[in-house]
Amino acid sequence: MSKSGKKSDEIQTSAPEKFGTKDYERELAKLHVELVKLQEWVRHKGLKICIVFEGRDGAGKGGTIKALTERVSPRIFRVVALPAPTEREKTQMYIQRYVPHWPAAGEVVIFDRSWYNRAGVERVMGFCTEEQVKRFLEMAPVVEKAMVDSGIILLKYWLEVSPDEQTRRLEARIEDGRKIWKLSPMDLQSYNRWYDYSRARDAMFAATDTPWAPWFVARSDDKKRARLNIIRHLLSQIHYEELPRENVKLPKRQKAGDYQEPNYPFKFIPETY
Kind plus residue range of the DSSP H or E element containing 237 = none
Helices (H), the chain: 21-45, 61-69, 87-90, 121-124, 130-149, 163-175, 185-192, 194-208, 223-236
Ordered structural domains, the chain, with CATH: 21-236 (3.40.50.300)
Kind plus residue range of the DSSP H or E element containing 159 = strand 152-160
Cross-sheet strand order for the sheet of 48-55? 77-80, 107-112, 48-55, 152-160, 215-219
Model pTM score: 0.87
- pLDDT tens track, the chain, 273 positions: 434 444 444 555 455 677 788 999 999 999 999 999 999 999 999 999 999 999 998 899 999 999 999 999 999 999 999 998 999 999 999 999 999 999 999 999 999 999 999 999 999 999 999 999 999 999 999 999 999 999 999 999 999 999 999 999 888 888 877 777 767 777 777 788 999 999 999 999 999 999 999 999 999 999 999 999 999 999 999 999 999 988 999 999 999 999 999 999 999 999 999
Q: At what angle do helices 185-192 and 163-175 cross, to 10 degrees?
A: 150
Residue type, 42: V
